[in-house]
Amino acid sequence: MNLKKLNKKYQPLSFQERLEKVFQEYEQDQILVTSSFGTTSMALLHLLSKVQPGHPVHFIDTSYHFPETLAYRDQLMKQLDLQIVEVKADKKKNKFTKENQTWRFNQDLCCFINKIEPLDTIKGKYSIWVSGLLGFQNVHRKNLDLFESKDGLLKFHPLIDMGKEDLNLYRQLYELPTHPLIHQGYGSVGCTHCTKKGENRNGRWLDVEKTECGIHDTKSWIKNRMVG
């Protein structure tokens, strides 16, 4: 796997062409697609519905989502005819975070139990992971390439260089719905306890030194802290 050659080959392509090429070059059952159904999710999901209708979209149900997020998920599922596969934490561990209110004292552990670990249980079944990360969302994502190596998988960000204006134009062009909380001042939406209003991802884990849940952190520092 030569990341430099892959990035060079895919860089000139349009967003749709990138996704089409991945499905041409890799077996469908080896391609993992995930979505948070957050404020910027609609572009990748719409492209997927055009390029590979019916391909599974894995959604991590932490049990802490805003009702608006779940309603938005259902709306997009119906409009784009998506096949959604729910990924959930171990029931006992999830119950522990509820009773312990882990998000108040150790956000990293809460994310590990409810997001990272559940996804880790299925990632081994795939060879390439497609995600809708956007470079404008924060500094970490700004520095990502189209392809990177992540936990033994080839990670693919076909929309990483899509700008905020491009995203809004895409949404308008294809008449895609917006996440309901955008109109209330939420630029990014995660779990209820750790999401506040703010531009882009500025409202995520407000007032703590944390900008990623760990799923997309290439350094895997959260996982190392939890189990290393």
State both tokens at 120.
């880790």
Structure confidence at residue 139 (pLDDT): 64
Tell me phi and psi for residue 195, to 5 degrees. -125, 125
Structure confidence at residue 227 (pLDDT): 42
Alpha helical stretches, state H, the chain: 3-10, 15-25, 42-51, 67-80, 91-100, 102-105, 107-111, 117-123, 139-142, 164-173, 221-227
pTM of the model: 0.86
Structure confidence at residue 25 (pLDDT): 95
By CB neighbour count within 10 A (0-12 exposed, 13-18 middle, 19+ buried), where does 99 fall?
exposed
Q: Which CATH number belongs to the domain containing residue 189 in this structure?
A: 3.40.50.620
Look at residue 6 and tell me if it is in a domain: no
CB atoms within 10 A of CB 27: 10
How many domains is the chain partitioned into structurally? 1
Look at residue 2 and tell me if it is in a domain: no
- Domain range for 154 is 28-227
Look at residue 144 and tell me if it is in a domain: yes
Look at residue 35 and tell me if it is in a domain: yes
Tell me if residue 111 is catalytic: no
Q: Rounded to whole angstroms, how far apart are CA atoms 198 and 184?
A: 10
Structure confidence at residue 9 (pLDDT): 95
Q: Which of 110, 111, 191, 213 is catalytic?
A: 213
Q: Tens digit of pLDDT per residue, the chain (228 long)?
A: 689 999 999 999 999 999 999 999 999 999 999 999 988 899 999 999 999 999 999 999 999 999 999 999 999 999 999 999 999 999 999 999 999 999 888 888 988 999 999 999 999 899 999 998 888 766 666 778 899 987 788 999 999 999 889 999 999 999 999 999 988 888 778 888 888 766 655 545 455 554 444 455 644 444 444 443
Report the SS3 class of residue 86.
Answer: strand
Look at residue 17 and tell me if it is in a domain: no
CB atoms within 10 A of CB 115: 22
Look at residue 12 and tell me if it is in a domain: no
Look at residue 134 and tell me if it is in a domain: yes
Look at residue 199 and tell me if it is in a domain: yes
